[in-house]
Amino acid sequence: MKKIIRLSTALVLALFPLAFTLPSYATSEPDSNPSISNLSANVYLIESGDVLIYGMYDIPYAAIPDNPANDTYIIRLLDTDGSTQIGATIPFVRYDSGYNEGVFSFYFAASENLTIEQTYTVRISQNPAHFANPQFDDFVMNLSDWTSATSQDRNQLELTLNIISLAEELEIEHDVTLLESSVGGTVLSDPGGETYFRGAIFGIQAMAPDLFLVQSLTWDTTDREWSTTQFDTYDSRFSGTSIGNSTANISATLGLTTVSLMGLIYALPIIVGSVIVSSIKYKKAEPGYLVSALVLILLVLMGWINPALFATAYQLMAIYIGYLWFYSRS
């Protein structure tokens, strides 16, 4: 009797792990064959040479299975031969446990060297662990699914518009809010739209920043070498023109430089006049200083003021503002 008990115990212990490895085949078949729609492919979204292939899947279930779609289905991207897998993803579980309509994506960095404008195949496969007779459905990309845009701005704009279109369809399908209006246009709602599309398209905020109300920017912290190139461009604005020749002739006749002549004709009367009028009308000179600052900028744009004089004037203005902020008692 003891030998029988020991033998039975050993048999149970030997078969016990199998209880956790045998497939359950618990997921029912979909109401109809799964499908892929709204296929699109954009390039140069984050870096030159990257590729994003995305679209909408539909795994129709009126009665949602107990196991979520990311356990029971996998979406694959196959090469043009229809059999070599080059990418794979699973449905993002947010609404209806990932079943019915949803968005999927495949992203390839530039280093992966994915060939663009190819008729790749998107396959929706059933997981053999959940189906006794697993099936798959294939959908071949059209060449028209690939973008014709080459610039990053244009590709990001196309992606933004396509995502808005997909979100509008999902809002109807799942009776949820994924979009909202902002001053800058339509963006993904927080948290519904942002949460869903961040999960369905990893890195979406970098690829289509205009979809987000709060955007992350990369600051350019590289050192900048300052020069007078733009000032020199303004200074030679009228060189060789009728205006430049006329002012040069008048200046030479009066024994002045062009800068000095324009200063006497425009700068001095307007600046001094604005300060005097401001002092009389408003009992303070500050409004006149504001007019003077604008006049100096206009003279720079016309090339009619010396760079050193312009820089000195604005440095004095900065010193005066500092005095008003920190030392003035009035």
* pLDDT reading at 3 higher than 60: no
Q: 74: burial class by Cβ within 10 Å (0-12, 13-18, 19+)? A: middle
Q: Which of 183-187, 207-211, 235-239, 279-283 has the highest mean pLDDT?
A: 207-211
Q: Respond yes or no on whether the N-terminal peptide bond of residue 68 is cis (omega within 30° of 0).
A: no
All structural domains of the chain with their residue ranges: 35-211, 229-326
Q: CA nearest 91: which of 133, 60, 117, 116? A: 60
CA angle 66, 70, 71 (to 5 degrees): 60
pLDDT band at 166 (very low <50, low <70, confident <90, very high): very high
* pLDDT reading at 269 higher than 70: yes
Any bridge partners for residue 186, and if so which? Answer: 181
Query: What count of other Cβ atoms lies within 10 Å of the Cβ of residue 244?
Result: 15
Rounded to whole angstroms, how far apart are CA atoms 29 and 137? 13
Instruction: Please give the full DSSP string across 257-310, using - where no structure is assigned.
Output: -HHHHHIIIIIHHHHHHHHHHHHHHHSSSHHHHHHHHHHHHHHHHHT-S-HHHH
Question: What tens digit of pLDDT does each residue of 23-69 get?
Answer: 556 789 999 999 999 999 999 999 999 999 999 999 999 999 999 99
Kindly report the length of the chain: 330
pLDDT band at 22 (very low <50, low <70, confident <90, very high): very low
User: Span 142-170, mean pLDDT?
Assistant: 96
Whether the model pTM is above 0.75: no
CATH superfamily of 35-211: C2 domain (2.60.40.150)
Q: Which DSSP symbol is given to 193?
A: H
Q: Quick one: CA torsion of 299, 303, 304, 307, rounded to 10 degrees?
A: 90
Pick the more confident residue, 138 or 321.
138
pLDDT band at 214 (very low <50, low <70, confident <90, very high): confident
